[in-house]
Amino acid sequence: MKRREFLNSSLQLGAALGWQSLLPAWAQSSGLTSLAGVPGLQGADLQLRVSSAHAAIAGKAARHIRINDQFPAPLLRWREGSALKLHVQNALDEPTSIHWHGILLPWQMDGVPGVSFDGIAPGATFTYEFPVKQAGTYWYHSHSGLQEQLGHFGPIIIDPLEPEPFQYDREYVLLLSDWTFEKPERVFHKLKAMSGNYNYQQRTLADFFRDVQRDGFDATLAERMLWGAMRMNPTDLADVSAATYTYLINGHAPAENWTGLFSVGERIRLRIINASSMSIFNLRIPGLAMTVVQADGQYVQPVETDELQIGTAETFDVIVQPVSAQAYTVYAETNDCSGYARATLAPRAGMQAEIPALRARPLLTMKNIGMTHDVVASPTAVGDHSAMDMAGMDHSTMDMGGMDHGDSGLQHSHPSGPAVDMLASNPVSRLHERPLGLEHEPHRVLVYTDLRSLLPNPDQRAPERELQLHLTGNMERYMWSFDGKKFSEVTAPIMLGLNERVRLSFVNDTMMLHPVHLHGMFFDVVTTQDHNKPRKHTLVIKPGEKASVDITADALGQWAFHCHLLYHMHAGMMRVFKVSKPGAQS
């Protein structure tokens, strides 16, 4: 062996060994999970140290952030009813933070710099103290800069005080994430310079002639001209794609094949967490049905499905039961079909199952983005979608009558300005629709209206008022906002009274999916008129959709609300809700 080959092989072996040493027990492959449950960092008084290191990820050395010298971060296993003390030491050379995603706690412990506290300075330690009021599957991550993209995240399991309403023999955490070897700041800079930088699946001349054959020349040309007038692309399904991302399950790239072992006939609980920065996954296990029993940590009436879409920051708990001694592929395909994460369930280590081929990438249509009328660009709209002629768009279907803005911090009219490049002309609820690209799959696909809370909603009052919030953006400039204003431009929080019952309606005026997340409180997703609406902390809003949730403002303090696509939030798609006692100063 030549010296260079020897050195390269030694470096690769060292990197692989370094990577294995980083993995906490819960993330290791080949069924190291015991039947008693996923091993994690337990106890009511825990020490967490945030640092950075260079070690192998997906077979290549990279700088990443780790907690207690582990990547992915340790699994925190709590007990409902406990009183926690979590001492977080910052060993980075920059401020950091930890947000406990989906956890009900005092607002000062929520971990959002500039909203709930100042952040944790380099060399400092901050102690989070709060009671555990809930059970289920959750996760934690940094809310400082773009640290989440560097691996600053980990899973949480909270064991309930009461027996759960379902049984299982074994459990695994499946933590989905996306990894780039580029610096996150570089990724954001590229998106600002050219929003389609990572879109390698744009339509070609061959696609044009194929569409002409199918639809005719006039129809095809008109459709292309319409997209051109809007300066948008029907393949813009994900801002960041497999062009730079490697998709991981429990820190393992597809080729590394994380494996969870089982015995035939066992009921296996999979705690699926989408901890990615920018990726939405369509997850299926060919040959195995999944019974959904929890969504965002909350019990739902069991519903069986073959595939589900899991938005960034959502969690789903499912039960599967292999009835034969074969391997099964856990296949998480990105919604733009540019890449996938993959793991295996098997009765023996080393077994593999067939990996499905990537589906053909889907295309957005006018319906998909909430357009029902022609849109043309104004002669003055050179690179500025805010100057679009919106006269051909029908806004009469937007329900503005029930809006009561008061001093909520929300505007009274349709958003406009340089941060808004389009408005949905016919926004309607699409919670019952299958995700784009899965409409014609022959198997069952979970939709939000399939979810029903196992227990009646705790607050069954009708909303006292409705607030409407527009999800807005300018794709060409990579500007993201609510109501046309980025976070730095908003001076007042959205005010809610303590224990007020409010309906919050989201209108997605963009052509992208947005997983919106509310801190500190769960919301009831308005899928039905009964009292078993699914309770969630994160909801994926489709393009052109108007979706509503009911909130009981039962948590005093300031709470972040944002799109959980990291670069969208970083660009300004964030607001603050402030819950105050009646008569308190705003």
Helices (H) and strands (E) in the chain, counts: 5, 31
Structural contact between residues 135 and 159, judged by C-beta atoms closer than 8 angstroms? yes
Vertex 8: Cα angle to 5 and 13 (nearest 5): 120
Structural contact between residues 55 and 64, judged by C-beta atoms closer than 8 angstroms? yes
For residue 87, give the nearest of 52, 54, 22, 43 by alpha carbon: 43
For residue 567, give the nearest of 528, 522, 523, 515 by alpha carbon: 515
Residue 565: which pLDDT band, with cuts at 50, 70 and 90?
Answer: very high
pTM for the predicted model, two decimal places: 0.86
| Bridge-based pairing state of the strands 281-284 and 328-334 | antiparallel
Task: Return all residues near 57 (Cβ < 8 A) that are at least 6 apart.
Answer: 19, 64, 71, 151, 179, 246, 248, 251, 253
Task: Name 79's bridge partners.
Answer: 159
On the question of pLDDT at 529 being above 90, the answer is no
Tokens of 138: 């959750």
Report d(CA 346, CA 262) in Å as an integer: 6
pLDDT in tens, 420-451: 877 887 899 999 999 999 999 999 999 999 99
For residue 319, give the nearest of 352, 350, 293 by alpha carbon: 293
Beta strands in 45-98 (DSSP E): 45-57, 60-67, 76-79, 83-90
For residue 549, give the nearest of 433, 481, 466, 461 by alpha carbon: 466
Mapped onto helix, strand or coil, the DSSP state of residue 233 is: coil
pLDDT in tens, 41-83: 999 999 999 999 998 898 898 999 999 999 999 999 999 999 9
Report d(CA 42, CA 404) in Å as an integer: 46
Vertex 273: Cα angle to 272 and 277 (nearest 5): 145
Mean pLDDT of the chain: 85
Residue 67's alpha-carbon distances to 92, 357, 440, in angstroms, are: 11, 35, 42
Task: Pinpoint the alpha helices (H) of 536-585.
Answer: 566-571
Task: Return all residues near 15 (Cβ < 8 A) that are at least 6 apart.
Answer: 55, 56, 59, 60, 61
Structural contact between residues 64 and 22, judged by C-beta atoms closer than 8 angstroms? no
pLDDT in tens, 461-495: 999 999 999 999 998 889 999 999 999 999 999 99
* C-alpha 411: how far from chain center: 27
Task: Name 497's bridge partners.
Answer: 580
Report d(CA 578, CA 538) in Å as an integer: 18
* C-alpha 95: how far from chain center: 24
pLDDT in tens, 206-220: 554 565 567 676 665
For residue 332, give the nearest of 161, 555, 174 by alpha carbon: 174
The angle, 0 to 180 degrees and rounded to 10, between the axes of the packed helices 205-215 and 217-230 is 130
Structural contact between residues 548 and 428, judged by C-beta atoms closer than 8 angstroms? no
Residue 367: which pLDDT band, with cuts at 50, 70 and 90?
Answer: low
On the question of pLDDT at 498 being above 90, the answer is yes
pLDDT in tens, 135-153: 999 999 999 999 999 999 9
